[in-house]
Amino acid sequence: MEFVLTFHQPAEVFEINDDPVRGAEPMQAWRLYMDAMVGAGVLRGANRLEQFAGTAVRVRGGKRQVQDGPFAETKELLGGYALIDVASIDEALKWAERCPGSAVGVTMVWPVRPTPKPAQ
């Protein structure tokens, strides 16, 4: 079963992580975490995102609205995601718990909805 883990953390956590000195330990923890998922054979893909540079696009009644992040309504910023393939939701939650981000922010676990095969 596939799940997407999304990593949400407060802005100050990203500031620490991006600092070469203060961020050394957390960034090593993230590397070790990703290595562990690769080692366990569950990781299908992962990326970091430019969490401060998100842009929102909305179209309402034919009118477009473009807005720069960070967005005031969310305290925690989306800093990355991983796609994993595990046997059960229980196992997905276990990987979410191990995520270094879970200790300072929140890791969300999203079951991937299976897509029907395209008709030939």
Of the ranges 7-15, 16-24, 32-40, 68-76, which one interacts with another protein (CB under 8 A)? Answer: 32-40
Interaction of residue 94 with another protein, rule CB under 8 A: yes
40-76 core/surface letters (b: 16 or more CB in 10 A; e: else): eebbeebeeeebeeeeeeeeeeeeeeeeeeeeeeeeb
Interaction of residue 98 with another protein, rule CB under 8 A: yes
Interaction of residue 18 with another protein, rule CB under 8 A: no
Is residue 107 within 8 Å of 101, Cβ to Cβ? yes
User: Would you tell me which residues interact with another protein (CB under 8 A)?
Assistant: 25, 28-29, 32-33, 35-36, 39-42, 89-90, 93-94, 97-98, 103
